[in-house]
Amino acid sequence: MVTYEKQRCWSILLRLFHWMFALSIVVLATTGFYINNPWAGNMIEGSRAWPITSYVRYIHFIAAYTFSSAVAIRLFLYIFGNKQERVLDILPVTGRNLKNLFSTLLHYSYISDKHDERLGHNLLAGATYLITFFAALFMILSGFYMLFPEVAFWQKWGVILLGSQQQARLYHHLVMWWFIIFSVIHVYFLTWNDIRHPEGLISSMFTGVKFKQKV
Ligand code: HEM
Ligand code: HEM
């Protein structure tokens, strides 16, 4: 009989990061689409009433601060988190990690049935999360440049790194698509993995625990 044991995998801080990050992105993308093409209540612009677009922008900024705090938490965990949470665990720089990267690619393309078990992320997922982390830094940079154009720091670095406000806005919009495409593929692969391998992958982001086969 196959028996499984519980293994602690994700700290409470990582789970907090995950849900702050995921939920704020849903709000940011929804309000972002509206900011791009506002259609309601614009006729009261300039009157004493607060136009709907201002409310939507306000919600975007509240979510933006949640998002930025989540990114700060993840930066902390990349350095000081548990073994699975540190950046070295997901960089394709060690023999074990490179091996995992190739075997995951083969497994995901249905070429091999072999599942190279790890407690943390597989390397393909981990590397994608790191790219997402840099995309998040970019959203913060371009977002704060748009929000505080008059502040000397953002003005200086915004212009050097992104060009004009309008250019920053375009890049901010385009990089949003990374998050949307990522989310769809993310949830697809989580479900795919959870069906094939009984380690409790999806629930691990709620409980912090995975189930590993006892040897
Ligand atoms: C994944 C995270 C984010 C997504 C998906 C997102 C999405 C968007 C989108 C689609 C727009 C409209 C751009 C356009 O006109 O096409 C926008 C505008 C904006 N976003 Fe974000 N955003 C994110 C994070 C942030 C952050 C962290 C900040 C930081 C304060 C921020 C601040 C702004 C500002 C200031 C605007 C311009 C508002 C205006 O022109 O009225 N965003 N965002
Ligand atoms: C129903 C929705 C979701 C569920 C159940 C879920 C669950 C999970 C699980 C189980 C992991 C770990 C997977 C692994 O080991 O590779 C994970 C990681 C991650 N998810 Fe989600 N997720 C959801 C939505 C999202 C969304 C919308 C985003 C952002 C766009 C997101 C961003 C991330 C990131 C960045 C990681 C890596 C965490 C880390 O840095 O260690 N997730 N998620």
**Residue 209 dihedral angles phi and psi, to the nearest 5°:** -120, 140
Query: By residue range, what is the domain housing residue 206?
Result: 4-39+48-213
Name the 3-class secondary structure at 63.
helix
Q: How far is the CA of 144 from the centre of ligand 2 (A)?
A: 25
Task: Give the tens place of pLDDT for each residue, 20-47.
Answer: 999 999 999 999 999 999 887 777 666 7
Q: Which of 181, 200, 202 is nearest to 190 (CA)?
A: 202
What residues flank ligand 2, with Cβ below 6 Å? 14, 18, 21-22, 25, 74, 121, 125, 129, 132, 179, 182-183, 186-187, 190, 201-202, 204-205
- Nearest-angstrom CA–CA distance, 3 and 123: 26
The residue with greater pLDDT, 72 or 214, is: 72
- Is residue 201 within 8 A of residue 190, CB to CB? The reply is yes
Task: Give the tens place of pLDDT for each residue, 80-127.
Answer: 999 999 999 999 999 999 999 999 999 999 999 888 889 999 999 999
> Which domain CATH number covers 132?
1.20.950.20
- Is residue 115 within 8 A of residue 196, CB to CB? The reply is yes
Entry pTM: 0.93
Average pLDDT over residues 133-145: 98
Helix (H) or strand (E) holding 212: strand 209-213
Task: Give the tens place of pLDDT for each residue, 146-160.
Answer: 999 999 999 999 999
Q: Is the CB of 140 under 6 A from ligand 1?
A: yes
Domains contained in the chain, number? 1
